[in-house]
Structure 1
Amino acid sequence: MNNSFWTVVGFTVANKVKGKAFLITTLIIALVICIGANLPYLIDKFSGESEPTKIGYLDNGSNGGTDADIIAMLQSYLAGQKEPELEIVAIADAGSADANESALKQAIIDEKIEGYMEFAKSDSSSFPAVTFKSEELMDMSTTQSLSAALQSVKMETVLKDSNMTAEQKKLLFEPVEIDSVQISTIEGAGSIGQGKSKSEQAMDMGLVYVILTLLFMAIMITGQLIASEITAEKSSRVMEVLITSVSPLKGMFGKIFGMFLVGLAQIIIFVAVMVGSLLLPHNADMMSELNINLADIDPLLVIYAVIFYLAGYFLYATMFAAVGSIVSRTEDLGQALMPITMLSFAGYYICLFGGIANPNAMFVKVTSYIPFFSPYVMLVRLGLEDPPLWQVWASILILLVTIGIVGWFAAKIYRVGVLMYGKRPSLKELRKAMRAYKV
């Protein structure tokens, strides 16, 4: 390629990067990413969710002692937790049922408690029925924590008279550890490898989610920019000068590559902001709790992710450029781009609602060979299972051949479309004009 290609690339990059819209959009998205990465910490700071939820109960010893025993065991259970989610608060007996109800509600108003428990005799069990009352609608988090604590207390109550030793009770309550290891049933033919631990599988899945989202964003945002840029240049008649000095292939791919560099610069900024935010000291504990270790990411999966990302981007970018070249008015662009947009949506949603849940499904395997979907779907298969090497490279080969064919047609459409003004040309007019030009 001679200097004309790089001239187009440089013009496209400079024209877009110098624009206020690009700078403002990049800054806003980077700010949103920074806030999102630090959102758990911000919520923790401003809402006080790190403190245990205070649950009240009526301190009434006249109920026979069963409730008092349960409260004592519940407090002992919570005291044994490293970071208890609940705190039991006693509310003094006011002397009557109505007065007690008012006292408990007043404690919520005074923010001494966030809800309270009531005990009643159960018809089917010696353990009392428990009712939790709170102002919040469907307070599922507190209810689940309270249910888990009471379940442990109930188990302890049942086992109290069983003559079991403390060591036996400890073994009974100890959770069963299950270590998940990914394997391949095809010896020596896998594409990614086997024997991955649960942590490595989690990091692979996280990488797949990130690449899928980045590819979808690149196609939807950068692709739209390519089409709108071409349409805007066409409507201003700049294209008449450009097309006479640069071949259609160089002009179209120079613009596509230029937009790719712009999008890549944005992605680098966003990733740097995300990683920088996650490495802040207040996020270190969260990273440790979630067992996030970037060293567990499979480097081979990263290589495949880059291949499918680049291939998917250039496939859709050439189609966006071709469609943008045949539209004369920017207000008609959205409707013209709808079929390509729906193709990208389809590939993304196949992964979200099918591929991630069941990567071995026949529908997922078939779509991993369809070039408009394979950048999404095959990447999911690589991250969640271990497809044979020949399947992966067959998908890549089909995708590259399709890019070549689509690129050739797109260049011809681009050469013809950018010189057609007024109404959108019909398929017959477009086909006739394409025959007159050689790429």
Structure 2
Amino acid sequence: MRKLWIITTETYLRQIKSWSFVALVLAPFVMLGLSLGIGYFSSTAGEDSDRIAVIADQPVRQQFIHQHKADVKTSVTTVAAAKKAVRAETITGYLILKSGPQQVTATYHGGQSLATDLKNKVDTFLMQQQQRLNLSNANLSTAQLQALQQEPRLKQIVHKKTGSAKLVRLISFWIMVFMVYMILITYSSITASEIASEKGTKIMEIIFSSTTASKYFLGKIFGVLLVILTHLLIYMVGGWASFLIASRLSITKAIVADNQVLIGKVLHNLLSINLLFLFLGVILYTILSAFSGALVAKAEDASKAAQPAIYLSMIAFFATIPFQNNADALTVKILSYVPFFSSYFMPLRIIDDNANVWVIGGSLLLLLASILLLLRYVGGIYEGLMLQTDDTSFWQRFRRGVKYQ
């Protein structure tokens, strides 16, 4: 057991200390930080120049500012000051509001037309002011005013598999399959290269003389799995921290607040049994990658070693896309039990509420059984595969490794 732990620790430490691992882990957070930073500075830099000045009698001006404070340069209160601010390009223009006895009017002065969203806000404000003026001039009774103030009532009936529920499923599906795909692709290459780089070296004969090949193989697999666990843990902690930061930043706070329920449901779909399917799928593909790495002819072929696992993962990934809105399909139900495909298809059924506890349990048992059987089989022929140095065909190396067992 001590030797197994030494091999595991050595593999783990070598991987997490590499610059490729650091870059892989930090890349999403760097991109997210850059995006938020650019967005923040862009919004800050253009904050004043995108605003307008409002020139009007105090009550009307205050009402407009109260409704649209973010769009108004409140320090500019006169036409002369507004003209000066336009020339200095600290505002885009100025709006003169006048409320007469019969009609409300507005005149905009600027170097370019009002932005569409701001023009809509101005139109809405003018309609509100005009309606108040019309009601005041109409001299209506209390009953008539109450009748005019009657508002329509909207009732929403949201079906389970439509509307926001459908959006939650789609977002959860795409995040999950991309997570599975990217982690499998990345660590399939890492594992295959880790194994293939030792192929045919004299050091392997020395290692196998001091410990069993199966124990050495398990140590390698466990080491890579610890790296993957570390990676996932960093993403979970970093993702939560990013969410907290986004909920407090001025440029993202409103978006997070408006979509709080949606975000909560998506996180519930991700941080559930689906995460176990993801991790077990990664283990299975890691073992396959190690097997592929041991089958290459020489260490120089390490770059090609991960191709079988990568191609199989690509097939599984692209196979899920046609069924993103059809988790009831027979193909999805069948593939959710097939080990190398279940990590993609069973989460699709779980997200769609299309799998009960017995279905999920059966798929998990098949996945676990496949992992144990593949571990046992590859561990048994590992020494025969690794000690081969002849540049023979794939099938010859495989047959020779099986016979060595």
TM-score by length of 2: 0.69
Specify the alignment match of 2:365 in structure 1: 397
One of 148, 153, 156 as aligned partner of 1:178: 156
**Counterpart-to-counterpart distance in 1, 2:87 and 2:310:** 52
Mapping for residues 37-436 of structure 1, pairs under 5 Å: 39-40=35-36, 42-48=38-44, 51=47, 81=67, 145=117, 171-172=151-152, 176=154, 178=156, 180=158, 182=160, 202=168, 209-280=174-245, 282-283=248-249, 285-286=253-254, 287-291=256-260, 302-351=271-320, 353-423=321-391, 425-436=392-403
Amino acid at match of 2:3: S
1:246 deviates by 3.0
**Counterpart-to-counterpart distance in 2, 1:276 and 1:43:** 19
1:153 deviates by 9.1
Specify the alignment match of 2:102 in structure 1: none
- What SS does structure 2 have at the residue aligned with 1:332? helix
Q: Return 5+ residue gaps in structure 1 as ranges.
A: 57-74, 93-106, 116-132, 136-141, 184-196
Amino acid at match of 2:244: L
**Counterpart-to-counterpart distance in 1, 2:63 and 2:334:** 52
Checking the alignment, whether the CA contact within 8 Å between 1:208 and 1:380 is kept in structure 2 is: yes
- What SS does structure 2 have at the residue aligned with 1:372? helix
Checking the alignment, whether the CA contact within 8 Å between 1:413 and 1:430 is kept in structure 2 is: no
**Counterpart-to-counterpart distance in 2, 1:363 and 1:150:** 54
- What SS does structure 2 have at the residue aligned with 1:283? coil
Checking the alignment, whether the CA contact within 8 Å between 1:223 and 1:317 is kept in structure 2 is: yes
**Counterpart-to-counterpart distance in 2, 1:288 and 1:418:** 56
Checking the alignment, whether the CA contact within 8 Å between 1:350 and 1:377 is kept in structure 2 is: no
Q: Return 5+ residue gaps in structure 2 as ranges.
A: 53-60, 74-78, 80-84, 94-110, 139-143
Specify the alignment match of 1:6 in structure 2: 5
**Counterpart-to-counterpart distance in 1, 2:340 and 2:27:** 32
1:324 deviates by 0.4
Specify the alignment match of 1:26 in structure 2: 22
1:30 deviates by 2.1
CA change 1:41–1:21 in 2 (3 A) is closer
1:55 deviates by 9.5
Specify the alignment match of 2:404 in structure 1: 437
**Counterpart-to-counterpart distance in 2, 1:77 and 1:331:** 74
1:298 deviates by 7.9
User: Over residues 271-305 of structure 1, what are the superposed CA-to-partner deviations in whole Å (9 max), with x where a residue is unaligned?
Assistant: 32332233237338243233169876787973412
CA change 1:206–1:83 in 2 (3 A) is farther
User: Over residues 21-62 of structure 1, what are the superposed CA-to-partner deviations in whole Å (9 max), with x where a residue is unaligned?
Assistant: 24xx41574264155057346403334488499599xxxxxx
Checking the alignment, whether the CA contact within 8 Å between 1:38 and 1:283 is kept in structure 2 is: no
Q: What is the aligned-residue RMSD (CA, Å)?
A: 5.1
Checking the alignment, whether the CA contact within 8 Å between 2:294 and 2:386 is kept in structure 1 is: yes
**Counterpart-to-counterpart distance in 2, 1:350 and 1:80:** 53
1:318 deviates by 0.6
- What SS does structure 1 have at the residue aligned with 2:151? helix
Checking the alignment, whether the CA contact within 8 Å between 2:181 and 2:317 is kept in structure 1 is: yes
1:364 deviates by 3.2
1:110 deviates by 7.6
1:225 deviates by 1.2
**Counterpart-to-counterpart distance in 2, 1:412 and 1:199:** 48
CA change 1:26–1:415 in 2 (3 A) is same
**Counterpart-to-counterpart distance in 1, 2:34 and 2:147:** 42
**Counterpart-to-counterpart distance in 2, 1:28 and 1:218:** 10
CA change 1:148–1:385 in 2 (3 A) is farther
TM-score by length of 1: 0.64
User: Over residues 220-249 of structure 1, what are the superposed CA-to-partner deviations in whole Å (9 max), with x where a residue is unaligned?
Assistant: 222211111111122543222223333333
Amino acid at match of 1:44: Y
Identity among equivalent positions (%) equals: 20
**Counterpart-to-counterpart distance in 1, 2:47 and 2:371:** 55
1:338 deviates by 2.3
- What SS does structure 1 have at the residue aligned with 2:328? coil
CA change 1:40–1:167 in 2 (3 A) is farther
**Counterpart-to-counterpart distance in 2, 1:371 and 1:6:** 28
CA change 1:331–1:78 in 2 (3 A) is farther
**Counterpart-to-counterpart distance in 1, 2:208 and 2:150:** 79
Amino acid at match of 2:227: V
- What SS does structure 2 have at the residue aligned with 1:385? coil
- What SS does structure 2 have at the residue aligned with 1:234? coil
User: Over residues 126-167 of structure 1, what are the superposed CA-to-partner deviations in whole Å (9 max), with x where a residue is unaligned?
Assistant: xxxxxxx989xxxxxx65x479669979999xx999x99687
Amino acid at match of 2:314: F
User: Over residues 405-436 of structure 1, what are the superposed CA-to-partner deviations in whole Å (9 max), with x where a residue is unaligned?
Assistant: 4334433453322111142x435423532442
- What SS does structure 2 have at the residue aligned with 1:45? helix
Aligned length: 375
User: Over residues 339-381 of structure 1, what are the superposed CA-to-partner deviations in whole Å (9 max), with x where a residue is unaligned?
Assistant: 3212212333344x33444433444333322322211221122
CA change 1:332–1:434 in 2 (3 A) is closer
